[in-house]
Structure formats: C-alpha cells, structure tokens
C-alpha cells in the first residue's frame, strides 16, 4: 500500500518521496491518538483524511514551488522534510513504543487450508489488495485516472488538450499521503509504533518502487509480491543472510532492467 502511494506520486509528479516513511509514521501516531478517542474504525477513516490535507499542504508549499528544480534536488528536499517531520513527532510523542488496539472482530485466528492464521493479518492482506485494485481501477477506468496517465506520459500535450495538471497533481499528492495514513493506522495493531518505523519501512518501499519501475503501479504491486516472496524464501532457505536478499534482488533487477519491472511511468 505504501509502495503504491510512492509509485503514484512518482508517476505523475516525478518525485521520489523520501518523506513518505515519515507520513506513514505520522499516520500511525495520529491513528494512535484518534483511536484512543474514537476507536479503530473511525481512526481508519479520519486519519487518511488528515493525511490527505497534509498532502495538499505538501503539494502547494513544497512540490509546486520546486517544479523547476531537478529530480535529485526535490528528492533530497523530501528527505529533509521527512527527517524534520520525524523529529517533530518524537518531540510530541516521545521515544517510547506504542500500539493501537485492534477491534474485537479482528482479533483471534481462523483456520485457512488447515493452518491457523491471525484474522488481523488476513484483514491486512484484504485491505492491501483492495487498495491496490481500487487504485488500478481508478487509473484504468475513470476519466480522472485517464488524465493522470496522460499527464504522466506527456505533460505538455496533456496541457495542450486542456487537462489541468496542477489540480491532478494536488489530487495525486493528497491521495499518496492518504495511502500512507491508511498504512500507518493499519500498522498500529500489528507493528510497534516507534520513532524508527519510518526508516525501516521507507527503505523497503523504495526498493519495491524502484524494482517495480519507478512510477508503475502494476510494477509496484508485482515488485511488492516478489519482495515478500524473496524475503520469506530468504528467511527459510538462507536464514543467515536473509537481510541481504532484498538488496541483492534490487541490484539484480536494476542491472538487468535499469527501468525496473514495469519500465513504464504509470499503470500500463
């Protein structure tokens, strides 16, 4: 889900958002605060909206004024902003780990193909698949999705055809941030909410996005599945060097196909 958000913002805005991990961390901490008051389900609704507003601010105050700067410079600015946001979160919440309580309906385990499986993990898989499929449907079958793909492939021609790329950029950036918010809230009951959670996740997400072909949603989904597969396979067959396997995968893919699996800029 996080990688889809990253792929989306690169697809249209040409931005590798190193601050995406910090948005995810913000989503998790906001989720913790909101869930304490309203419960998990409302937090899952409210936090993405709050993060979408953060995305609007990010687009208007940062990305739009830096439109003429190089990709590398913008990527580094997002890195800096991510570090600042992470530090602000630590100032507010402190350094101790927290967690969000999962609703009762998602606790416990079910038996799948004879194996006991935690319900919350199944819920995560469904949410992840649902988000990616929704995103793919939006990009493929709606007019705004078509405009997003058009701007991504050729911004000049799209503008000549009367497409308002600024509005679409705003939509995409806020959607990308909302995805980070959903992922943050969903991580709350499953993972520890702590100050280092952004770095751990962003490195994995960047690997997935780059393997997928920066900007390709379909590539990001395939890459996420491949990433998960090699991680599990690595921990089973090469437990001593399992941590290295994703990096080896990244290097092998990029050396064979420098554009990544998708090679495209959006869903194609």
Residues at the contact surface with other proteins, assessed by CB under 8 A = 16, 66, 69, 71-73, 75-77, 79-87, 199, 203, 206-207, 210, 214, 240-241, 243-244, 247-248, 250-251, 254-255, 258
In angstroms, give the least distance from the CB of 140 to other proteins.
Answer: 26
In terms of DSSP H, where are the helices of the chain?
2-13, 20-38, 40-58, 71-93, 119-141, 143-153, 155-160, 165-187, 197-212, 217-237, 245-256
Q: Report the C-alpha gap between 128 and 210 in whole angstroms.
A: 19
In angstroms, give the least distance from the CB of 264 to other proteins.
Answer: 15
Please give the C-alpha separations between residue 237 and each of 118, 139, 207, in angstroms, as whole numbers.
24, 38, 21
70 or 116: whose CB is closer to other proteins?
70
88 or 232: whose CB is closer to other proteins?
88
In angstroms, give the least distance from the CB of 22 to other proteins.
Answer: 9
In angstroms, give the least distance from the CB of 256 to other proteins.
Answer: 11
160 or 256: whose CB is closer to other proteins?
256
104 or 256: whose CB is closer to other proteins?
256
Q: Please give the DSSP secondary-structure letter assigned to residue 62.
A: I
15 or 135: whose CB is closer to other proteins?
15
Q: Which residues contact 217 (CB under 8 A, 6 or more apart)?
A: 4, 7, 8, 11, 132, 135, 136, 139, 262, 266, 267
In angstroms, give the least distance from the CB of 250 to other proteins.
Answer: 5
16 or 100: whose CB is closer to other proteins?
16
Rounding to the nearest 10 degrees, give the CA dihedral for residues 30, 218, 140, 174.
20
Q: Report the C-alpha gap between 264 and 155 in whole angstroms.
A: 15
Q: β-strands 115-118, 109-112: how paired? A: antiparallel
73 or 154: whose CB is closer to other proteins?
73
In angstroms, give the least distance from the CB of 39 to other proteins.
Answer: 33
In angstroms, give the least distance from the CB of 80 to other proteins.
Answer: 3
Residue 58: closest CA among 91, 25, 13:
13
């Amino acid at each position: 889900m996080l990688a889809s958000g990253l792929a989306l913002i690169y697809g249209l805005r040409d931005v590798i958002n190193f601050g995406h991990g910090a948005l995810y961390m913000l989503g998790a901490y906001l989720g913790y605060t909101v869930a304490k008051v309203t419960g998990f389900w409302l937090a899952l609704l409210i936090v993405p909206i709050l993060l979408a507003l953060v995305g609007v601010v990010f687009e208007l105050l940062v990305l739009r004024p830096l439109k003429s700067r190089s990709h590398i410079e913008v990527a580094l600015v997002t890195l800096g902003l991510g570090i600042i946001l992470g530090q602000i979160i630590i100032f507010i919440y402190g350094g101790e780990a927290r967690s969000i309580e999962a609703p009762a309906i998602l606790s416990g385990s079910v038996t799948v193909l004879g194996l006991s499986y935690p319900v919350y993990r199944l819920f995560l898989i469904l949410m992840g698949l649902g988000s990616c499929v929704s995103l793919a449907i939006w990009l493929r079958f709606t007019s705004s999705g078509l405009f997003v793909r058009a701007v991504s492939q050729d911004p000049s021609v799209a503008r000549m055809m009367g497409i308002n790329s600024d509005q679409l950029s705003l939509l995409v950036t806020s959607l990308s941030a909302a995805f980070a918010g959903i992922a943050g809230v969903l991580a709350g009951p499953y993972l520890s909410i702590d100050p280092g959670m952004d770095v751990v996740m962003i490195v994995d997400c960047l690997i997935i996005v780059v393997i997928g072909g920066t900007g390709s949603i379909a590539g990001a989904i395939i890459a996420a599945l491949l990433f998960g597969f090699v991680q599990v396979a690595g921990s089973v067959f090469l437990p001593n060097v399992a941590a290295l396997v994703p990096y080896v995968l990244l290097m092998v893919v990029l050396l064979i196909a420098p554009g990544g699996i998708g090679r495209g800029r959006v869903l194609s």
